[in-house]
Structure 1
Amino acid sequence: MDQLYSSLFIMVLGVAGCVFYFFGSNIVLNLIFPTRGVSNMQMAKNIRRAASVRPWLFLGPALSFLGLYLVYPVFDSFMLSLSDRAGEDFVGLKNYVWLVNDREFRESLFNNLMWLLVVPAASTFFGLIIAAMTDKISWGNIAKSLIFMPMAISFIGASIIWKFVYDFRAEGSEQIGILNALVEYFGGTPEAWITIPFWNNFFLMVILVWIQTGFAMVILSAALRGIPEETVEAAVLDGANGIQIFFKILIPQIWGTIAVVWTTITITVLKVFDIVLAMTNGQWDTQVLANMMFDWMFRGGGDFGRGAAIAVVIMVAVIPVMVWNIRQANAQMEGR
């Protein structure tokens, strides 16, 4: 109960602080640029000045926190990547040279590339198919709710669920893992699925596809509903069948949305960490960049230089995708 009371107190304090800042900043602004007791010309000038200052006054705290918790750590991480294990002495590009020559880094990079090829494509594809199918059935909203539900689960929670799916017990023992129980039921031999090199990466990818398909479905369903009915009706009158309408009429009209969904999931994949940590901790050739960064930064005494170098690599990989995603979203909002 103490934690609950503390949380409620912090929430009330935060809301009260925001209200106080809102009204207090307006009062101060009115004192600096008064609109009473001055000439009409001066009053007009003060109104314009106050109007130009007020947005920055309200944005100020948010920009300050962004600078403190987002911009500053980027520069600090880059400086750390040029430092030694303790983050004190300058070593130049030594950590990046180590990365290029490190076998585990190359393995992580290869695994991340596999995740990038499979997860965004599979999630977007299944999301699109499900969105199109559920819009045509009476119980479509119920189906969407069930498919979207994994989005409400944390990555760690989802990983624990799938650990039970992939669970392995020695042959002859009762299998509690769904997958091995099915394999045994059909006469097969149970396997420790997440320990099989190369293929275990795909078993881990299934978890993220399961989570992200709901996100893709919701966004693409909204896009499909925004397509003018006239274009579909015209295609029907011209003799187009369902498959032709889907691939030649519907998809071209929501291609921008598909691209945004794809790149959004791509950014998530580049930062994938929780699933690998919970399922394998990078063992059995499943290491990825974010988990490798965590290992070097916080385990075995920590190596701030090497951990920061891996973080910089992840950031550099994310930036182009993020910029393209923002441009696509802006273009779509402007109707281009």
Structure 2
Amino acid sequence: MTSESTSPALDVDKLARYLQQHVPGFHGPVQATKFAGGQSNPTFLLDTPGGRYVLRRQPPGQLLKSAHAVDREFRVLSALGQTPVPVARAWHLCEDREVIGSMFYLMSYEEGRIFWNPALPEIDRDARRDYYASIVTTLAALHDVDVDAAGLSDYGRPGNYFQRQIELWTRQYRAAETEQIGPMEALIEWLPAHCPADTQRPSLVHGDFRIDNLIFTNDAPRVRAVLDWELSTLGNPLADLAYFCMCLRLPSTGDITGLRDQDRSTLGIPEEEEMVAQYCELRGLPGIANWNFYLAFSFFRLASIAQGVKARALQGNASNASALEVGGMVEPLASLAVELIA
């Protein structure tokens, strides 16, 4: 993990006393540094004489009932620690809001590299395909987790996953709507009418599986830890695969960076068909029907999220200076989805 900025937001002395009582081997003093970025759950690097840890907390103040559920994140990390899925070690969940002002959990610090650009400019061309192969292998391993054996059989709601998601993100979009956008209206009509039936057992779904939510080892194309489980649930695993593959179709400029119009062969990045084929082989799938639906839904969901960012920016409540730029992506994202269903 990288990109930290100093923050005085934690009472580190009180925190150190608490963790010394509840985490084996933990002892202060503690130096806390907030990770930069737009995480909805503030995340801190803790430096101690005995090593480094990561603390992830709910933001202080009043919260929506189901938002910022760091206890769910802790639960899924704890469960995955016994599986082949690479995650940080979950050390402790504190539900006592008196300690630092909100619920938080402590996990291991995983040394490694995070890449923000899917073109992987930091990596030699000949190695980039191996990095993508590692990503797909990690995703397949996640979706192969036996949720019953992992104690996660009640981690999501029953019923058609995509049907619920379409309803959710349509509501979210309507609540944040600032103007009528033709491509979004087309998607709101088309998606529920073409939603495939869920015919397979629900898998654990990450919900935000993209390259900058992965830590790679420093010296090899291997995923060391999957980060940010805030949106995880049980559902259709193809949502994660399509969401990740969306990076191949997103514009190469702007706040949300992708690989559209770039020569992926020259870059050494595999094509979508190759990644989908690798995923299907790893999971024993004959192929994927309705692939364009899953991609279109991914663009629709991201557009709805961007609309929420735009609405908050116009209200003066946005969390970073690029919020209006993100908000400007709503129509382009929806148009990319409409291209897939035309």
TM-score interval (norm. to shorter):
under 0.3
TM-score of the two chains, using structure 2 as the length reference = 0.23
Identify, as 1 or 2, the structure richer in strand. 2
Identify, as 1 or 2, the structure richer in helix. 1
Query: Rg: which structure is higher?
Result: 1
Question: Which gives a bigger RCO, structure 1 or 2 (Cα 8 Å, sep 6+)?
Answer: 1
